């Protein structure tokens, strides 16, 4: 793992954020010797959380389609 100086981090912040996202963390060291860790926080959004599609059919039409499909089997 690389340690970046404060100046390098300031000049390349976007790059370091991407690196933290890919690798999990990035270390930044100040002149006084203090070291800081920049971490990526994973998204809490479920991959199954997808936007719905409005197809403008009512409950009865859905039930009719399901019955028709079940009758075929």
Give pLDDT tens digits for 14-26. Answer: 999 999 989 889 9
8 Å CB contact between 44 and 34: no
Average pLDDT, stretch 3-11? 92
Chain centroid offset of residue 13 CA: 19
Q: According to the model, what pLDDT value does residue 69 have?
A: 93
Tokens representing residue 52 in the block: 């719905």
Q: According to the model, what pLDDT value does residue 17 have?
A: 92
Q: How many angstroms separate the CA atoms of 24 and 22, rounded?
A: 6
- List of domains in the chain: 1-41 (3.40.1620.10)
Average pLDDT, stretch 58-68? 93
8 Å CB contact between 26 and 48: no
Would you say residue 73 has pLDDT above 80? no
Q: According to the model, what pLDDT value does residue 67 have?
A: 95
Q: According to the model, what pLDDT value does residue 31 have?
A: 93
Nearest to 40 by CA among 63, 53, 23: 23
């Amino acid at each position: 793992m690389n340690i970046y100086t404060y100046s390098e981090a300031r000049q390349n912040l976007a790059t370091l954020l991407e690196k933290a996202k890919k690798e999990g963390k990035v270390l930044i060291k100040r002149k006084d010797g203090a070291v800081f860790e920049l971490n990526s926080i994973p998204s809490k959004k479920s991959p199954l959380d997808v936007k719905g599609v409005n197809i403008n059919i009512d409950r009865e039409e859905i039930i009719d389609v399901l019955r028709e499909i079940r009758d075929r089997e």
